[in-house]
Amino acid sequence: MEKAARPRVGLWKRLAADEREGRQPRLTHERIAQAAFAIAEDEGLDGVTMRRVAGELGAATMSLYRYVESKEELHELLLDEAIGRMDIPGDRTGDWRADLRDLAVRQFAALRARPWIITLQSTVPTLGPNSLRASEYALSLVDGLGFTIDEMMQIVGLVKGHVSTLVQAERLAESERRRTGMDDEQWQAAHTPYIKDLMTSGRYPYFERIVIEAEHFAIDASFEFGLDILLDGVAARLGR
């Protein structure tokens, strides 16, 4: 009878074991994370490879695998490093709405500066110390309001999702402009004949209103409006 495979020990458990046993390796996970972060800042996420990070540290690529077993673990270290560099307050004021808004504003600024963080957050689960600290702080903002832990997670997740969605939309629009080589006015000019056909068809009354009436919020205004809606929703739940 074959023996069951031993469960794989995760990155953070291995790091904790190293700390307990007082190991002092030549390369540290801190240095690896910092090198990965520097590369991501200069070249984007695609530049963060095992070979590239090893080269930055003056080490052989294979030696890096003693510390991180895969590119996914490298990305996990990078994500935790990036979260650790976010401007997250240490304390809360006690005004849940003001504190949650402040956190959202800080997250919005951080992700606009480094949109590759969103890619990591959507693909790499992490239990790193910086990630846990950030999560603990966010959840503490809605603690004591009468919500269950599941509801608290939903509230924090909705605010985080609002931030990420807007940053991704901005990133997509910029990518599309680069791909087509057209600015907004050029795009509108190219599509005006078709848009007129849609409007005269009478089948799309809301689309017609969008063309005629919509002011199209700038991203900062969209952020503020959406955040107000979310916070108003939380406040309404408190009154139930």
Q: What is the DSSP string of 6-49?
A: PPPPPHHHHHHHHHHTT---SS-HHHHHHHHHHHHHHH-GGG--
Average pLDDT over residues 174-192: 84
pLDDT at 7: 46
pLDDT tens across 31-68, in order?
999 999 999 999 999 999 999 999 999 999 998 988 89
107 pLDDT more than 50: yes
Domain 1-85 has CATH 1.10.10.60: yes
pLDDT > 70 in the chain, percent: 92
104 pLDDT more than 70: yes
Average pLDDT over residues 132-151: 95
pLDDT at 50: 94
Domains of the chain, by residue range, sit at 1-85, 88-240
Instruction: Give the architecture-level CATH label for domain 88-240.
Output: Orthogonal Bundle (1.10)
pLDDT > 90 in the chain, percent: 67
Long-range CB contacts for residues 122-128, cutoff 8 Å, separation at least 24? 123/75, 124/72, 124/75, 124/76, 124/79, 125/76, 126/76, 126/79, 126/80, 127/10, 127/12, 128/12, 128/76, 128/77, 128/79, 128/80, 128/83
Q: If pLDDT is split at 50, 70 and 90, which confidence band does 109 have?
A: very high
